């Protein structure tokens, strides 16, 4: 009797526990259904409005005749103002403002806003960095312009939810100002919250029903408890082993990513890839190929674990590249071998196209080691993650190289700029001090350049500068550097050339420029001539600034003596004798 009583009590306790658990789950589900939709919907609306704000900004800028001038001077014609005033009637925006770069409002749908200044920290940080700023707040209905037009909820007693989004206006990475849009999201927000709550309620109801059924079944069946516990224990052991393996892979992937992101060049990056892949996938031999600059072939860059790579392969020779997705040889009954995998011995392999920013930049090829086919197939996902890490690293290195190139190049002519020229001249002088190799500097100035701008316009002047820059660039070879100092002034650094060779090069440059014929529109511009000044290290200076000053003095001498000629810098005592010579003003 006592045993039966204990069994009955235990059974009742189980049912009571199940009932309490079910009630707790229902309460938790109800709380989740009520509270979770709000942040979810707010996040969705924020993402959507951020996208819409870019379209609103584009509409505003497309209908303004000169956006850059407008944001700098606040000047707009009647057509621009008419469009801006009508925009709230044709969009979800009920109010917007145009800001200068300093935060001052120079136009608004509310005239009272004009002249006010936004001094918030996000304006000088987030917006000036080219990022969109979003905020969401509740306001009285009286704050919404044209409430009937922009909201289906016309009850003026209730507060409305308004999204405020600031969109930066950039021009060539320069911050011109910002546009602030206001849009009423009350009705849309409430609709989505209601729908999400309905969906979550339905899902929770289904889940609770399913869990209730499962709970009842579990409570009624105890026959296989021992076997279930044994199976669970075995599964836990396997899961622990899998988790340990995944933890090791995640750690290695993290280390791989950290090292790859710190690489300074593609060569260094590929050395790191080869070392890490040996540890991450010891059962696979592999190689990496990267597209050449011409993109007609891929160059072999690295291999590991006994793998080899060819110097060059054609994109059409890889089924992964041709099909634009991972190719797995050995996974189907009928397979075709890639050309770059020849000679092939039947072992399975993977071809992973390496993608960066939507563009294929290379290929990672992995082949199973002998007698490791099963483990090789299980590591496909890990290999795919490795390819993704490598693709991001390649994209970062290339982007870093592009940004560095942009920072040292003159955008008009493509020549190096003054900062890069000064750095290289300093390095070449240091090298010359150690090796004794000669270094020469040629200062170049376009004669009567101001006349091109005055008589033919600045576009014609730009064409002249590009033409002269092209001649200078084509004349450089090896370590020689052509730079644009600013305006119509150029400089050439010629290491390793004797003074007579430098003078001959300068004269050839003068004649080459003189032979240029620049077409502008339907006419040919007047003849272009240049004046050149030569200075040699260390004869005319031992410091970069001294050498540049000597070359400029020689250039001024060439200008003073009639232009369109080459002059060599005077020695120190000769420069003293020539102190009284007039200087030619920059044209």
Element (H, E) at 567: strand 566-568
Query: In this structure, are 170 and 261 located in the same domain?
Result: no
pLDDT given for residue 582 in this prediction: 46
- pLDDT greater than 80 at residue 253: no
pLDDT given for residue 545 in this prediction: 92
Task: List the structure tokens of 566.
Answer: 């080459």
Query: Residue 573's pLDDT band (boundaries 50, 70, 90)?
Result: very low
Residue 209 is given by DSSP the state H
More confident: 434 or 265? 434
**Tens digit of each residue's pLDDT (9 = 90 or more) over 300-327:** 888 888 888 888 999 899 999 998 889 9
Per the listing, tokens 């592999």 go with 286
Is 230 a member of any domain?
Answer: no
Is 585 a member of any domain?
Answer: no
Query: In this structure, are 76 and 197 located in the same domain?
Result: no
In sequence order, the 6+-apart residues with CB closer than 8 A to the CB of 445 are 488, 489, 490, 530, 531, 532, 555, 559, 587
Distances (CA, A) of 360 to 289, 321, 349, 356: 11, 8, 20, 6
**Tens digit of each residue's pLDDT (9 = 90 or more) over 111-136:** 899 999 999 998 988 989 999 999 99
pLDDT given for residue 147 in this prediction: 60
Query: Residue 141's pLDDT band (boundaries 50, 70, 90)?
Result: confident
Query: In this structure, are 433 and 559 located in the same domain?
Result: yes
- Rounded mean pLDDT of the chain? 85
Is 571 a member of any domain?
Answer: yes
Name the most confidently modeled range: 72-76, 294-298, 510-514.
Answer: 510-514
Instruction: Report d(CA 375, CA 283) in Å as an integer.
Output: 7
Distances (CA, A) of 344 to 281, 347, 351, 380, 528: 20, 7, 14, 20, 63
Bridge partners, 520 (sequence order): 523
Query: Residue 231's pLDDT band (boundaries 50, 70, 90)?
Result: confident
Where a domain ends, among 164, 184, 204? Answer: 184
Query: Residue 222's pLDDT band (boundaries 50, 70, 90)?
Result: low
More confident: 284 or 91? 284
**Percent of the chain with pLDDT strictly greater than 90:** 33
pLDDT given for residue 124 in this prediction: 85
Average pLDDT score over residue span 233-242? 82
DSSP of 422-483, one letter per residue?
A: HHHHHHHHHHHHHH---EEEEEEEETTHHHHHHHH-HHHHHHHHHHHHHHHHHH--TT-EEE
Q: Where in 312-407 does DSSP place strands (E)?
A: 312-313, 327-329, 349-356, 359-368
Instruction: Report d(CA 151, CA 155) in Å as an integer.
Output: 10
pLDDT given for residue 581 in this prediction: 47
Average pLDDT score over residue span 44-70? 89
- pLDDT greater than 80 at residue 60: yes
Decide: 156 and 141 in contact? Cβ < 8 Å.
yes
pLDDT given for residue 6 in this prediction: 67
Query: Residue 166's pLDDT band (boundaries 50, 70, 90)?
Result: very high
Range of the domain at 197: 2-35+193-220
User: How many other CB atoms are there within 10 angstroms of residue 48's CB atom?
Assistant: 13
Is 69 a member of any domain?
Answer: yes
pLDDT given for residue 584 in this prediction: 42
Angle at 10 between CA 7 and CA 16, to 5 degrees: 145
Is 411 a member of any domain?
Answer: no
Catalytic residues: 488
State the total domains in the chain: 4
**CATH (domain of 67):** 3.30.450.20
Residue 288 is given by DSSP the state E
Angle at 129 between CA 410 and CA 183, to 5 degrees: 135
Decide: 111 and 200 in contact? Cβ < 8 Å.
no
Is 239 a member of any domain?
Answer: no
Bridge partners, 360 (sequence order): 355
Residue 320 is given by DSSP the state H
Decide: 521 and 498 in contact? Cβ < 8 Å.
no
């Amino acid at each position: 009797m006592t045993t039966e009583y204990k069994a009955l009590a235990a059974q009742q306790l189980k049912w009571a526990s199940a009932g309490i658990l079910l009630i707790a789950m229902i309460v938790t589900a109800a709380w989740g259904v009520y509270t979770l939709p709000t942040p979810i919907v707010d996040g969705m609306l924020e993402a959507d409005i951020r996208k819409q704000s870019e379209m609103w900004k584009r509409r505003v800028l497309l209908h303004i005749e000169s956006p850059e001038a407008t944001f700098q001077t606040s000047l707009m014609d009647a057509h621009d103002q008419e469009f801006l005033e009508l925009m709230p009637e044709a969009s979800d925006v009920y109010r917007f403002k145009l800001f200068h770069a300093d935060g001052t409002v120079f136009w608004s749908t509310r005239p009272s806003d004009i002249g006010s200044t936004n001094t918030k920290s996000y304006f000088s940080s987030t917006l000036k960095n080219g990022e969109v700023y979003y905020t969401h707040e509740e306001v009285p209905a009286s704050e919404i312009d044209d409430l009937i037009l922009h909201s289906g909820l016309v009850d003026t007693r209730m507060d409305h939810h308004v999204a405020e989004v600031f969109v930066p206006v950039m021009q060539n990475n320069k911050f011109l100002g910002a546009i602030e849009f206001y849009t009423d999201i009350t009705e849309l927000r409430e609709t989505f919250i209601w729908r999400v709550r309905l969906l979550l309620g339905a899902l929770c109801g289904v889940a609770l029903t399913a869990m209730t059924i499962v709970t009842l079944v579990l409570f009624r069946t105890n026959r296989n408890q021992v076997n279930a516990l044994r199976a669970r224990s075995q599964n836990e052991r396997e899961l622990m082993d899998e988790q340990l393996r995944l933890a090791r892979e995640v750690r290695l992937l993290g280390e791989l990513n950290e090292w790859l992101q710190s690489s300074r060049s593609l060569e260094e990056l590929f050395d790191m890839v080869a070392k890490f892949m040996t540890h991450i996938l010891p059962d696979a031999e592999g190689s990496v190929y990267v597209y050449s600059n011409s993109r007609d072939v891929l160059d072999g860059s690295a291999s590991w674990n006994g793998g080899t790579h060819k110097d060059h392969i054609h994109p059409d020779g890889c089924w992964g590249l041709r099909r634009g997705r991972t190719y797995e040889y050995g996974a189907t009954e009928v397979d075709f071998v890639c050309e770059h995998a020849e000679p092939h011995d039947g072992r399975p392999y993977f071809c992973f196209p390496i993608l960066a920013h939507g563009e294929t930049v290379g290929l990672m090829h992995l082949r199973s080691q002998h007698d490791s086919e099963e483990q090789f197939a299980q590591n496909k996902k890990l290999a795919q993650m490795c390819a993704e890490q490598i693709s991001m690293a390649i994209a970062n290195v290339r982007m870093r190289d592009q940004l560095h190139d942009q920072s040292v190049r003159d955008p008009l002519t493509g020549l190096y700029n003054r900062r890069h020229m000064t750095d290289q001249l300093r390095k070449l002088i240091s090298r010359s001090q150690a090796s004794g190799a000669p270094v020469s500097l040629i200062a170049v100035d376009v004669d009567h350049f101001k006349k091109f701008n005055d008589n033919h316009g600045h576009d014609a002047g730009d064409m002249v500068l590009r033409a002269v820059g092209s001649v200078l660039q084509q004349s450089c070879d090896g370590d020689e550097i052509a730079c644009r100092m600013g305006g119509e002034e150029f400089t050439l650094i010629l290491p390793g050339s004797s003074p007579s060779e430098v003078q001959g090069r300068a004269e050839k440059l003068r004649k080459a420029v003189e032979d240029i014929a620049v077409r502008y529109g339907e006419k040919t511009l007047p003849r272009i001539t240049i004046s050149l000044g030569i200075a040699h290290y260390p004869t005319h200076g031992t410091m970069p600034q001294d050498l540049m000053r000597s070359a400029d003095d020689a250039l001024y001498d060439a200008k003073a003596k009639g232009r369109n000629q080459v002059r060599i810098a005077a020695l120190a005592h000769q420069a003293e004798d020539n102190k009284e010579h007039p200087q030619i003003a920059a044209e």
